[in-house]
Amino acid sequence: MKKLIIFLIVMGNGLMAQNVTQAGVHSHNDYLQNVPFWKAYSAGANSIEADVFLIENDLYVAHTRKEIDTLRTLEALYLEPLKKALTLGFDGAEELVLLIDIKSEPYTTLQTLNGILENYPSITGSDRVTIAISGNRPKPPEYLNYPKYIFFDHQNLQPLENPAILQKIALVSLSFRNFSEWSGEGAMTSEDRKRIIAVIEKAHDFNKPFRFWATPDSKSAWKAFVDLGVDFINTDKPMECIKFLDTL
C-alpha cells in the first residue's frame, strides 16, 4: 500500500510538471538579441519574431525605419539560418513559428515576402515550421488569398463568420495592457486575474494557441502566465525564460 501511495504521488507530480511546461516561449523582437535567431533557436524557443519593412523590393529587419541596416535582411538573419538549421538537422523546438511582423504596407510587403519564400522550399514545405504574419495584415477574409504555407496572427476575439478562415490562423495574440497594468511583481489583483482568464478562455474558443504581447517580463510573470494557460510566453529573454520554465 505504501509503495502504491508513493507511486501515485510521483505520477501526480509528473503530470503537474507536464501541465506547467506545456507553454511555449516566444522570442519577442528577436532581432534585438546579440545573436538573432540562433540564440533563441538553440535554446528551444517555440516562436521567433522578426519585424520587417519593405524597402525597394527587399525586406529589412528592424524595429523602426531609422534603425534599418541594409545588411540585416529577413533572408540573412532568419531564412538562411533557418534553412541551414533544417538542412543540417540542428536541434531546436519540435515545432517553430516564425512570426513575421509587418511594419510597412501589408499587401505589397506580403507579395514580396511570398516571392522570397518561394526560394525556400525546405522552409515552406517543412511540417516543423509555421510562417505566421503579424503586425500590418490583410483583413481576415483575405487570409484565404495567400498560399497554404502563409498563416496569420489573429488579433481579434470576435467570432469568424467563415470557418475556412480558421484554417489560416496560426495563433491568436492580444496586448496584455488592454486588460491589466500588472507589473509582474507581487500578486495580480483578483479582478485582473478574472479578466485575464476570461480573455484566455475566449481566445481558446478558436482552438488556436494564445499569446499576450506587451507583458511584464519576469520570472513571476512567466510563472503566472503558465498557470493562467497562456500558450506562448512573450519574452525578450528567451534563454532565461526557457531555463526557468524547465525548473517548474
- CB distance 140 to 172 below 8 Å: no
Q: What integer is the mean pLDDT of 76-85?
A: 98
What is the residue range of 166's domain? Answer: 24-247
CA torsion 35→110→155→101, rounded to 10°? 20
Task: Report if residue 19 sits inside a domain.
Answer: no
Contacts of 156 (CB under 8 A, 6+ apart): 140
> How far from chain centre, in Å, is Cα 7?
37
- What is the predicted pLDDT for the residue at 115? 97
Q: Is the pLDDT of residue 18 over 80?
A: no
Task: Report if residue 121 sits inside a domain.
Answer: yes
- CB distance 97 to 47 below 8 Å: yes
Work out the burial of residue 143: count CB atoms within 10 Å of its CB; fewer than 13 is exposed, 13-18 middle, 19 or more buried. buried
- In angstroms, the CA 241 to CA 243 distance is 5
Count of C-beta atoms within a 10 Å radius of residue 119: 11
Task: Report if residue 89 sits inside a domain.
Answer: yes
Within 13 Å, how many C-alpha atoms sit on residue 88's CB side?
Answer: 9
pTM: 0.90
**Residue 26's closest CA among 234, 236, 240, 247?**
234
Task: Report if residue 87 sits inside a domain.
Answer: yes
Number of domains in the chain: 1
Higher pLDDT, 11 or 156: 156
Task: Report if residue 3 sits inside a domain.
Answer: no
**DSSP output for 73-138:** BHIIIIIHHHHHHHHHT----SSEEEEEEE-S-HHHHHHHHHHHHTT-HHHHT-TTEEEEEEES--
Rounded (10°) angle between helices 219-228 and 238-247: 60
Q: Give tens-digit pLDDT for 127-154.
A: 999 999 999 999 999 999 999 999 999 9
Under DSSP, the state recorded for 31 is: G
- In angstroms, the CA 82 to CA 88 distance is 10
Q: Give tens-digit pLDDT for 4-14.
A: 333 333 333 33
The CATH number of the domain holding residue 205 is 3.20.20.190
Task: Report if residue 91 sits inside a domain.
Answer: yes
- What is the predicted pLDDT for the residue at 13? 37
- CB distance 40 to 27 below 8 Å: yes
**What are the φ/ψ torsions at residue 109 (nearest 5 degrees)?**
-65, -45
Mean confidence (pLDDT) of the chain: 91
Task: Report if residue 144 sits inside a domain.
Answer: yes
Confidence of residue 69 (pLDDT cuts 50, 70, 90): very high
| Residue 221, C-alpha cell as written in the block | 510573470
- CB distance 30 to 50 below 8 Å: yes
| Residue 155, C-alpha cell as written in the block | 488579433
Task: Report if residue 4 sits inside a domain.
Answer: no
| Residue 160, C-alpha cell as written in the block | 469568424
Contacts of 70 (CB under 8 A, 6+ apart): 58, 60
Q: Is the pLDDT of residue 17 over 90?
A: no
